[in-house]
Amino acid sequence: MEAAHGHAHEHGHDHIPSGIMRWVTTTNHKDIGTMYLWFSFSMFILGGIMALVIRAELFQPGLQIVEPEFFNSMTTYHGLIMVFGAIMPAFVGFANWLIPMQIGAPDMAFPRLNNWSFWLLPPAALLLILAQFAPGGGAGVGWTLYPPLTVQQGMSMDLTIFAVHILGMSSIMGSINIITTLLNMRAPGMTLMKLPMFCWTWLITAYLLIAVMPVLAGAVTMLLTDRHLDTHFFNPAGGGDPVLFQHIFWFFGHPEVYIIAIPAFGVISQIIPAFSRKPLFGYASMVYATASIAILSFLVWAHHMYTVGMPVQAQLYFMFATMLIAVPTGVKVFNWVATMWKGSLSFETPMLFAVGFLFLFTIGGFTGLVLSITPLDVQLHDTYYVVAHFHYVMVAGALFSAFGGIYFWLPKWTGRMYDEKLGKIHFWLTFVFFNIAFFVQHFSGLAGMPRRIPDYSLQFTEFNAISSIGAFGFGLSQLLFLYIVVKTIRSGEKAAQKQWEGADSLEWTALPSPPPYHSFETPPLIK
Amino acid sequence: MRPTAGTMQDDRDKRRARNLRTALILASIAAAFFLGFLLQRF
C-alpha cells in the first residue's frame, strides 16, 4: 500500500508543548503511547523484582529470606503487576503509537478519553504497591483472587480490589477508543481487509476486553460486598458457592490470556514479513484464525478448574473445546513459517525475537495442549508444570513479541537506530536465561512440585537452583535493554524513513522518522 | 479507489457523531456484561 498524495505541509508547524504539563494534559496518541510504554517498563521492573524475591527464596529448600506470608503476597502481586501493569499496557502503548499511523488517522477517536485511560494506571499501580504496607501486609491469595481466602484477608485486599476496578475501567475505555478509531477513522481507501495485521489483532482484542473486563469487575465487586456488606455470593454458609467465583473469574481469565497473546501475534505478523521481504502469507486466513481464537477463548474457561469436581461430560466438553484452539493457532504458526519460506531472510534483533517467539511460544502452546487433557491436568494442576507453561506463553510469547516490536519501531518512533550488536546480545542473553529459568520447571512440575509455596521437598533442589540462576540472569539482562533504549534515544545514529526495506505499512511508507507530532492531518489516499 | 464506509473522508461533525454512537454501543455492551454477571445471583 502507498500514500497517493503527500503531506509535506504538515511538517512546518509542529507545536510541541514542553514541561511536565505536556505529559499530564496530553491528548497526543504518540505521547500517550510513550507514557504507556515507560509505565509498562517500570511495572516490568517492579514485577521482576518480586519474581526475584520468589526465586531467591526458592533457590534452596527451607525458609531463608522472607516470611511465608510475604512470599505469598509476592506471588500475588508479581502476577497482578505483570499481567495488568506490564504486559497489557505495553501492547496498549503499541496500539496508541501505531494504530493512527497505520490507518492514516490524525489521532485516536477520543484523545481526551485516551489521556484518562492512561492516567488511571499510575493510581492503580500505587494502590497495588500500597497494599504491601496495609495492616497484615499484602494479600497472599494468588493473582486469581479465589475466595474464601480473599474474603478473609485484611485491608490489602480492598486496595487490590479497587486497583483491579480502576485497571478494568482503563482497559474498557481504551478498548472503546481503539475500536472506534479502527472502525471510523481509517483513511479513504483503507478497507478493513487492507488493515495491517497489527490493527486487526487489536480490533479483535478490544472486543475481547469489552466483553470480559466488566466480568472481572463484577467478580471483584461481589468479593467486595461479601467482605463488607454481608452478602454471601461465595460463602456456602449463606447459600453461596466459592466455585462460582472460579467460573466467573475464568470466564474473564481465559480470554485475558488471548488479550495478551493476540496483539503479540499482531506484532509478530508485522516483523516476520518485513525481515522475510515477502508479504504476510495467508493474510485473510490470519484474520479469520485470530477471530476464531477470540471466539473459542470464551468457550473453554473451565479447563482452569478441572479439579473442582465437575461432571465428566463437562470435562470432556472443555477438553475438546480447548484442543480446538490449536487449529487456528496452528494456522497462524504455519502462516508465519510459510512467510519465511523462500524469503530473503535477515536476522536483525526484531527478527531474532520473532523467531525466538515462534519456537518458544509453540512449546508453550504444546504444553497447553498437554494441560487441556483432563486426566493429565488433574495430576499437573497447581504444579510447576503449569507455571512453566504459562511463562512460555506470557514471557516467550508476549514479552518477546513486545521486545521485538520495540526494536522494530524504535527507529520510527525516535528517529534513531539502536545498537544492533547490543540488541543481539540482549536477545541471546534473554533467550538463554529464559530457558534456564523456565524449562526446568516442566520437570519439577512433572515430579510434583506445587506452585505458590516458599518451601519444598529436597528432591526438587537442583531444578529450583537452576531455575533461580536463570531467573536472576534473565532479570539482569533486562538492564541491558534499558541501556540500549536510553542510548538509542540519546545518541543513536539517524534512522531512515523506511529503516527496514521489507516494511510496507503506512508509518514506514508515508511518514518520516521520527514522525511529526501531528501526522496525517490530511488523510492519505490508499490505493 | 473503492469507496470505504466509515472513514476519514466524512466531514468532522458527521465523524464525531458516528464516533460517539460507536462508543455508546460499545459502552452498553460492557455495561450489559457487568450487570449481567453481577445480577445473576440476586
In the prediction, which pLDDT does A525 show? 83
CB atoms within 10 A of CB A196: 26
Does residue A515 belong to any structural domain of this protein? no
Nearest by Cα to B9 from A349, A352, A105: A105
A315 and A254 share a domain?
A: yes
The domain of A475 spans 344-500
In the prediction, which pLDDT does B5 show? 57
Distance CA A392, CA A360 (A): 6
Residue of B nearest to A214 (CA): B34
Task: Determine if the peptide bond prior to A148 is cis (ω within 30°).
Answer: yes
Does residue A518 belong to any structural domain of this protein? no
Distance CA A434, CA A396 (A): 8
A417's torsion region: left (phi>0), alpha (psi -120 to 50) or beta? beta
Q: Calculate mean pLDDT across residues A453-475.
A: 97
A54 and A177 share a domain?
A: yes
In the prediction, which pLDDT does B9 show? 66
Catalytic annotation, pick one of A7, A29, A55, A78: A78
Interface of A with B in 101-120 (CB under 8 A): 104-105, 109-110
A40 and A186 share a domain?
A: yes
Read off the pLDDT band of A57 (50, 70, 90).
very high
Residue among A105, A177, A215 whose CB faces B8 most closely: A105
A386 and A492 share a domain?
A: yes
Strand pairing partners for A383?
A: A450
Read off the pLDDT band of A19 (50, 70, 90).
confident
Residue of B nearest to A215 (CA): B34
A43 and A180 share a domain?
A: yes
Give yes or no: A501 in active site.
no
- Asked if residue B4 has pLDDT above 90, the reply is no
Cβ contacts of A247 on chain B, cutoff 8 Å: none
Q: Calculate mean pLDDT across residues A433-454.
A: 97
Q: Which of A195, A219, A236 is the last residue of a domain?
A: A195
Give yes or no: A247 in active site.
no
Cβ neighbourhood burial of A276 (10 Å; 0-12, 13-18, 19+): buried
Q: Which of A331, A364, A396 is the last residue of a domain?
A: A331
- B34:A217 CB<8 A: yes
Cβ contacts of B6 on chain A, cutoff 8 Å: 183-184, 186
Q: Calculate mean pLDDT across residues B10-34.
A: 90
φ, ψ at A407 (rounded to 5°): -65, -35
Distance CA A119, CA A113 (A): 10
A190 and A205 share a domain?
A: no
For A270-309, what is each residue's pLDDT tens digit?
999 999 999 999 999 999 999 999 999 999 999 999 999 8
Does residue A171 belong to any structural domain of this protein? yes
Distance CA A202, CA A191 (A): 16
Does residue A146 belong to any structural domain of this protein? yes
Q: Give CA A446 to chain center in angstroms.
A: 27
Residue A325 DSSP code: T
- B33:A190 CB<8 A: no
- Which helix (H) or strand (E) is A131 found in, with range? none
Give yes or no: A518 in active site.
no
- B30:A213 CB<8 A: yes
- The answer to whether residues A381 and A302 touch, using CB atoms and an 8 Å cutoff, is no
Whether this model's pTM surpasses 0.90? yes
* DSSP string of B3-40, one letter each residue: --SSBTTS-HHHHHHHHHHHHHHHHHHHHHHHHHHHHT
Mutate to test the interface with B, among A7, A110, A176 (most CBs of B within 10 A): A176
The CA R_g of chain A, rounded to the nearest whole Å, is 23
In the prediction, which pLDDT does B6 show? 59
pLDDT averaged over every residue in chain A: 95
CB atoms within 10 A of CB B27: 14
For A487-514, what is each residue's pLDDT tens digit?
999 999 999 999 999 999 999 999 999 9
Give yes or no: A452 in active site.
no
Does residue A388 belong to any structural domain of this protein? yes
Q: Give CA A266 to chain center in angstroms.
A: 12
Distance CA A148, CA A157 (A): 12
Cβ contacts of A213 on chain B, cutoff 8 Å: 30
Q: Which of A331, A363, A387 is the last residue of a domain?
A: A331
Indicate the range of A257-266, A323-332, B4-13 predicted with least confidence.
Answer: B4-13
Does residue A517 belong to any structural domain of this protein? no
A491 and A470 share a domain?
A: yes
In the prediction, which pLDDT does A6 show? 43
Report the Cα–Cα distance between both ends of chain A, in Å, rounded.
6
Give yes or no: A329 in active site.
yes
- Asked if residue A98 has pLDDT above 90, the reply is yes
Distance CA A392, CA A371 (A): 13
In the prediction, which pLDDT does A7 show? 45
Strand pairing partners for A496?
A: none
A381 and A469 share a domain?
A: yes
Look-up of cell digits 481465559 = A254
- The answer to whether residues A339 and A280 touch, using CB atoms and an 8 Å cutoff, is yes
A414 and A365 share a domain?
A: yes
- B34:A180 CB<8 A: no
Residue A493 DSSP code: E
For A333-376, what is each residue's pLDDT tens digit?
999 999 999 999 999 999 999 999 999 999 999 999 999 999 99
Does residue A521 belong to any structural domain of this protein? no
- Asked if residue A393 has pLDDT above 70, the reply is yes
In the prediction, which pLDDT does A264 show? 98
Distances (CA, A) of A124 to A24, A130, A167, A239, A252: 16, 10, 6, 33, 19
Distance CA A259, CA A180 (A): 18
Task: Determine if the peptide bond prior to A514 is cis (ω within 30°).
Answer: yes
* Strand segments (E) across A344-392: none
Structural domains counted in chain A: 3
Q: Which amino acid is at A332?
A: K
Distance CA A201, CA A271 (A): 14
Residue A416 DSSP code: E
Catalytic annotation, pick one of A55, A278, A303, A391: A303
Distance, in angstroms, between B30 CA and closest chain A CA?
5
Distance CA A42, CA A129 (A): 13
Cell of A503: 516494511
Nearest by Cα to A303 from A241, A363, A378, A243: A378
Give yes or no: A171 in active site.
yes
For A113-159, what is each residue's pLDDT tens digit?
999 999 999 999 999 999 999 999 999 999 999 999 999 999 999 99
A305 and A379 share a domain?
A: no
Residue among A184, A213, A215 whose CB faces B6 most closely: A184
% chain A with pLDDT above 70: 97
- Asked if residue A171 has pLDDT above 60, the reply is yes
Does residue A254 belong to any structural domain of this protein? yes
| CB contact burial A431-458 (16+ within 10 A = b; e otherwise) | bebbbbbbbbbbbbbeeebbbbebebee
- Which helix (H) or strand (E) is A417 found in, with range? strand A416-417
Chain B within 8 Å of A295 (Cβ-Cβ)? no
A189 and A41 share a domain?
A: yes
φ, ψ at A494 (rounded to 5°): -65, 135
Cell of B23: 462508543
A259 and A310 share a domain?
A: yes
- The answer to whether residues A108 and A98 touch, using CB atoms and an 8 Å cutoff, is no
- Which helix (H) or strand (E) is A494 found in, with range? strand A493-494
